[in-house]
């Protein structure tokens, strides 16, 4: 996964998978979150927070990368009920078999209950208003196979501006069902089998149900009232837990929280799930949840990544994990998840597109896979504490939006400090000097690049200077050069 430490980089202590728990007092004081029962907190495996999408047959083995323990896959209505009232349980039991096969390897498979069966999709005209836009979808016209030609009109209410007025092919399976009761019957059928026969606990309801995301061509209010809430009642009726259907980053978090409030949907959710959001957005979601319920629900991102920036994983994971740790979510059972989209590039993917996955089509790791493995190595495979008692001469802070650069500090097993250093492309500085809070005289420091290569650094009086440039010609240098935010790490063994 990552290169072994060079022999000239000593370690004061061997790596340990035990957390001291001293830094969790901050999380205990956060509104709506319980504090730790004692100063000592049992270690949480880092892989319990990590996962991927669509690993298929490789699912049981995904733990080889950072110990990740979650996979996500669709259970399609169209496959389970190809014609009205006729169920084919082949797909349901295939999912169940995958779930059962993954479990002994510590991997949980999350089902996504989706989408419309083509025979069930609405063909009549419909419309709705959301925020400042009026949507009108005309009756189905020509059948294009997977879709229907329909006139779509979108108008900005405040100005009268016509945003769209054209005939387009809308997919049948992304069109709201004509009879919501048929959807509920599908959910009842599938959940009954997966929960009763295979013990599946978590169920996700649809995926990215928002117009511009391309997976739901209907009203968000209709989604909540006719898709989400009925499914929630069924899932909970079987003793399962409800994962919201992945609110997409094409729409602001404020729209999501407003929707949940307007539809009184907060209490119908066990896990809030959003896709491709920054820590600042997750904090807005958490605050809104605490205001609505008095506590924070688990917050997952069942899709992150899918980025053309080769060093994106080195930015995403430390930043989101630091936020989750400070809010106590990372220490709660299933309180926080990060699932990279997706596991392995298809053989048909272009070279550029293949780089967005964790694995190339031939199974070798992409830069994202390498970056994640380095993070896991730095954290010794456990969820660390935060370490924020440090300063630097570059003005970098633990930002929640990243664009101007940031740092995230961690204390690993009580024996090492790890600080992720992120600077934007074109940043004028060539190095950053950190001042640490009274490290012991025996402490040693190293710069760690994206691939895990270590270079010794001088640590004097608590000060250590980290050069930002990677070794010329190295894989890390190439990844950072092609990324909008470049990353390296400071590692101090105490």
Give domain limits for the chain: 46-118+178-378, 126-171
HEC readout, the chain: CCCCCCCCCCCCCCCCCCCCCHHHHHHHCCCCCCCCCCCCCCCCEHHHHEEECCCHHHHHHHHHCCCCCEEEEEEEHHHHCCECCECCCHHHHHHHHHHHHHHHHCCEEEEEEECCCHHHECCCCEEEEECCEEEEECCCCCECCCEEEEEEEEEECCCCCEEEEEEEEEEHHHCCECCHHHHHHHHHHHHHHHHHHHCCCEEEECCCCCHHHCCCCCCHHHHHHHHHHHHHHHHHHCCCEEECCCEECCCCHHHHHHHHHHCCCHHHCCEEEEECCCHHHHHHHHHHHHHHHCCCCCEEEEEEECCCCCCHHHHHHHHHHHHHHHCCCCCCCCCEEEEEECCECCCCCCHHHHCCCCECCCCCECHHHHHHHHHHHHCCCECCEECCCEEECCCCCCCCCCCCCEEEEEEECCCEEEEEEEEECCCCCCEEEEEECCCCCCCEEEEECCCCCEEEECEECCEEEEECCCCCCCHHHHHHHCCCEEEEEEEEEC
The label of the residue with tokens 């390498």 reads 370
- Note the pTM of the prediction, 2 decimals: 0.91
The label of the residue with tokens 């006719």 reads 226
pLDDT in tens, the chain (494 residues): 333 322 222 222 223 232 233 333 333 333 333 343 345 667 899 999 999 999 999 999 999 999 999 999 999 999 999 999 999 999 999 999 999 999 999 999 999 999 999 999 999 999 999 999 999 999 999 999 999 999 999 999 999 999 999 999 999 999 999 999 999 999 999 999 999 999 999 999 999 999 999 999 999 999 999 999 999 999 999 999 999 999 999 999 999 999 999 999 999 999 999 999 999 999 999 999 999 999 999 999 999 999 999 999 999 999 999 999 999 999 999 999 999 999 999 999 998 899 999 999 999 999 999 999 999 999 999 999 999 999 999 999 999 998 889 999 999 999 999 999 999 998 999 999 999 988 999 999 999 999 999 999 999 999 999 999 999 999 999 999 999 999 999 999 99
Encoding tokens for residue 484?
Answer: 């909008």
Backbone phi and psi for residue 418, each to the nearest 5 degrees, phi listed first: -125, 125
CATH 3.20.20.80 fits 46-118+178-378, yes or no: yes
Q: How far apart are CA 210 and CA 189, in angstroms?
A: 25
């Amino acid at each position: 996964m990552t290169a072994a430490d060079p022999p000239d980089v000593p370690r004061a202590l061997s790596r340990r998978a035990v957390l001291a728990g001293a830094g969790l007092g901050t999380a205990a004081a956060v509104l709506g979150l319980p504090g730790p029962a004692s100063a000592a907190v049992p270690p949480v495996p880092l892989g319990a927070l990590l996962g991927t999408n669509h690993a298929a047959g490789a699912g049981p083995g995904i733990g080889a990368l950072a110990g990740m323990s979650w996979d996500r896959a669709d259970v399609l209505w169209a496959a389970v009920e190809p014609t009205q009232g006729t169920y084919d349980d082949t797909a349901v039991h295939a999912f169940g078999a995958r779930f059962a096969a993954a479990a002994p390897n510590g991997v949980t498979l999350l089902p996504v209950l989706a989408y419309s069966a083509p025979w069930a999709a609405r063909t009549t005209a419909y419309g709705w208003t959301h925020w400042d836009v009026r949507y009108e979808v005309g009756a189905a016209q020509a059948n294009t196979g997977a879709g229907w030609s329909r006139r779509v009109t979108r108008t900005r209410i405040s100005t009268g501006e016509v945003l769209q007025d054209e005939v387009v092919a809308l997919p049948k399976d992304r069109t709201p069902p004509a009879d919501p009761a048929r959807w509920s019957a599908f959910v009842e059928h599938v959940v009954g089998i997966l929960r009763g026969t295979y013990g599946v606990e978590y169920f996700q309801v649809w995926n990215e149900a928002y117009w511009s995301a391309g997976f739901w061509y209907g009203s968000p209010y209709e989604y909540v009232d006719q898709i989400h809430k009925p499914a929630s009642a069924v899932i909970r009726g079987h003793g399962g837990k409800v994962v919201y259907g992945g609110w997409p980053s094409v729409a602001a978090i404020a729209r999501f929280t407003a929707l949940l409030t307007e539809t009184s949907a907060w209490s119908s959710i066990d896990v809030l799930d959003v896709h491709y959001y920054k820590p600042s957005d997750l904090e807005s979601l958490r605050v809104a949840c605490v205001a609505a319920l008095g506590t924070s629900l688990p917050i997952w991102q069942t899709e992150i990544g899918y980025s053309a920036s080769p060093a994106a994983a080195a930015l995403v994971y430390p930043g989101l994990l630091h936020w989750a740790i400070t809010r106590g979510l990372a220490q709660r059972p299933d309180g926080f998840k990060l699932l990279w989209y997706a596991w392995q590039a298809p053989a048909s993917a272009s070279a550029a597109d293949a780089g967005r996955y964790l694995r190339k089509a031939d199974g070798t790791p992409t830069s994202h896979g390498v970056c994640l493995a380095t993070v896991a190595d730095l954290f010794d495979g456990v969820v660390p504490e935060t370490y924020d008692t440090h300063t630097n001469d570059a003005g970098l802070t633990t930002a929640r939006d990243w664009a101007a650069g940031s740092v995230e500090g961690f204390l690993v097993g009580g024996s090492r400090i790890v600080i992720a250093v992120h600077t934007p492309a074109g940043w004028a500085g060539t190095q950053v000097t950190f001042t640490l809070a009274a490290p012991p005289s025996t402490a040693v420091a190293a710069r760690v690049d994206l691939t895990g290569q270590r270079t010794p650094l001088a640590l004097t009086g608590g000060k250590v200077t980290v050069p930002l440039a990677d070794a010329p010609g190295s894989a890390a240098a190439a990844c950072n050069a092609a990324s909008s935010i470049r990353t390296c790490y400071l590692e101090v063994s105490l």
